[in-house]
A and B are shown apart, each in its own frame.
Chain A
Amino acid sequence: MNELSLPQLMGFVATHPVALPIYLIVAAMLFVLGLMACMLRRNAIGILIGIELILNAAILNFMAFWRFRGGLDADPTMSGPMFGVFIIVLAACEAAVALAILLNLYFNFGSVEVDKMQQMKH
């Protein structure tokens, strides 16, 4: 293989249309970042943010697969966007309930840090 220089890479990238794997990789990165947010954040809202990232990654996956199967042409039942719609709706429900719980926690413990809530510690 020739030495791949930046112009060549850019040329390649410029001319070729984006393929499925790229979308999948991006979705994967979003997923991993969301997971890390869940694991690393001490603030409960931070964990919620992570969860939103994960959900979005999932929707992106669905859409990518729908589009690269033929999109509207091959699948007039719009399975991809439908999934997306429903996921978004459910995400909204879940966020509402989560925030309600979070407010309760705030009123009981005076803080939103999950590390402070060790009532279930042995």
Chain B
Amino acid sequence: MNSEAANVALTGWQGANIAFWLITIVVLVSAFFAALSRSIVQAAFALFFCLLGIAGYYVLLGSAFLAVTQIIIYVGGILVLLMFGILLTNRPLQRDLPYSLWLYTLVCLSGLLLLAAIETVIMIAPWHQAATISAPASDVRPIGNMLLTKYLLPFELAGITLLLCLVGAAYLVRRRER
């Protein structure tokens, strides 16, 4: 029986499963590093990998468009911006403020507690799931369609918001006469 199970275990993997679990490993490990590493540069790089992994999730979940959007904007835009920020403001770490162990413990504990709480809820709740879905088709056309019909207003507002933020950000960092 063990051997049977082992057999199945070695040969029964489906492609999606393998992908999922590999991506999960990547995401979680890099998220861990992004959250808890000492160096901010390390954190940024870990975030890079994390975001890539999540893009992989989106593919598995049936929306390739979102995955690509994620890569282009999140990774290629936001992350780069963060990198620039780090580069511009990187100073040698000054050990002026003590790292409070008590605080650290409390935070970890509370985090774990929160996780436990959410997981309890997830496990208890009776989820209705659709078993299978069709092969992921191209979803660009539907998205484009939605953008201009159902989600027209949010689309426009998002555009305006972008404009406002860019103008605002540019204004905030203008050179001042000293």
Contacts and interface: CB of A to CB of B under 8 A. Distances in A.
Given A49-B47, A52-B78, A36 B6 contact: no
Contact of B166 (A26, A43, A96, A103): A96
Contact of A32 (B114, B122, B137, B143): B114
Interface in A25-41: 25-26, 28-37, 39-41
Interface in A61-76: 63-64, 66-74, 76
Contact of B88 (A48, A52, A103): A103
B51 to A, nearest CB: 7
Interface in A85-114: 85-86, 88-97, 99-104, 106, 111-113
B78 A20 contact: no
B139 A88 contact: no
Q: Of B16, B69, B170, which is in contact with the most chain A CB atoms at under 10 Å from its CB? A: B69
Interface of B is mostly: helix
Contacts of B170: 100
B159 to A, nearest CB: 9
Contacts of A16: 17
A86 B31 CA distance: 22
Count class of interface residues, chain B: 35 or more
Nearest to B79: A52
A90 B155 CA distance: 11
Contacts, number: 263
Nearest to B141: A78
A87 B163 CA distance: 16
Nearest to B64: A81
Size bracket, chain A contacts: 35 or more
B66 A63 contact: yes
A53 B50 contact: yes
A112 B92 CA distance: 11
B28 interface: yes
B69 A85 contact: yes
A78 B24 CA distance: 24
Given A14-B9, A106-B89, A113-B97, A71 B62 contact: yes
The residue among B5, B66, B127, B172 with the most chain A CB atoms within 10 A of its own CB is B66
Closest 6 CB pairs of A and B: A93-B165, A11-B9, A100-B169, A37-B35, A100-B172, A10-B9
Interface of B: 2, 5-6, 8-9, 12-14, 16-17, 20-21, 24, 27-28, 31-32, 34-36, 40, 43-44, 47, 50-51, 54, 57-58, 61-63, 65-66, 69-70, 73-74, 77-78, 81-82, 84-86, 88-89, 91, 94, 97, 104, 107-108, 111-112, 114-115, 118-119, 122-123, 127, 129-130, 133-134, 136-137, 139, 142-143, 146-147, 150-151, 154, 158, 161-162, 164-166, 168-170, 172-173
